[in-house]
Amino acid sequence: MMYRVLVIAGGALALAACSSSPDWMGGLKSGPMLDTVSFESEPPGAEAKTSNGQTCRTPCSLALPVETPLTVTFSLNGYAPESEKLEMIQATGEPPRFGPNPVVVELTPAQQQPRPTKKPAPKKPATKKPAAAAAPAPMTAAPAQPASPWPTSAPPVRQ
């Protein structure tokens, strides 16, 4: 009879110890559940960035903590960015996982944005120049004469 009491008391103490583990035992606790998710893109080589900050170049895989839904954004120069949402799937008797897995996106070429045209600089008001600095007075030119070595008019008459 005494043996049973000791076994029950020892089991109760052990159970109580497990429910209130000290901080030094924190290293023995398991971390968050992880799910490895594969990412693919067409064309390949896009950067896949999750909302928790992890990144990789497609095709690739990341081990993601299955705590909350995540968003994955795919970006590649010359293509419009695409985003996909990863939902948590919880099935009875199975660990939580993300869906869809693999995540496959087809990137579309970015539309060429017209280059912004430069607006002409505002014109400064014209400053009046003093009269002395104005353009020189036009010269009166003699009428154009044909180029000839002989005079074309009669010589002056002497009186």
Q: Residue 52 domain-assigned?
A: yes
Q: Residue 156 domain-assigned?
A: no
Can you spell out the DSSP letters for 33-64?
-EEEEEEEEESS-PEEEETTS-EEESSEEEEE
**pLDDT single digits (tens) 66-115:** 989 999 999 999 999 999 999 999 888 888 999 999 999 999 998 865 56
Q: Residue 61 domain-assigned?
A: yes
Structure tokens at 30: 């398991």
The whole-chain average pLDDT of the chain stands at 78
Q: Residue 3 domain-assigned?
A: no
Structural domain span for residue 71: 30-105
Counting the structural domains of the chain, the total is 1
Name the pLDDT band for 137 (thresholds 50, 70, 90).
Answer: low
Q: Residue 71 domain-assigned?
A: yes
**Low-confidence winner among 22-36, 38-52, 112-126 (lowest mean pLDDT):** 112-126
- Average pLDDT, integer, range 42-61: 96
The enclosing H or E element of 3 equals helix 2-19
Between 132 and 156, whose confidence is greater?
156
Single-letter residue type at 43: P
Q: Residue 42 domain-assigned?
A: yes
What is the Cα–Cα distance from 148 to 159, expressed in whole angstroms?
Answer: 28
Q: Cβ distance 33 to 95 under 8 Å?
A: yes
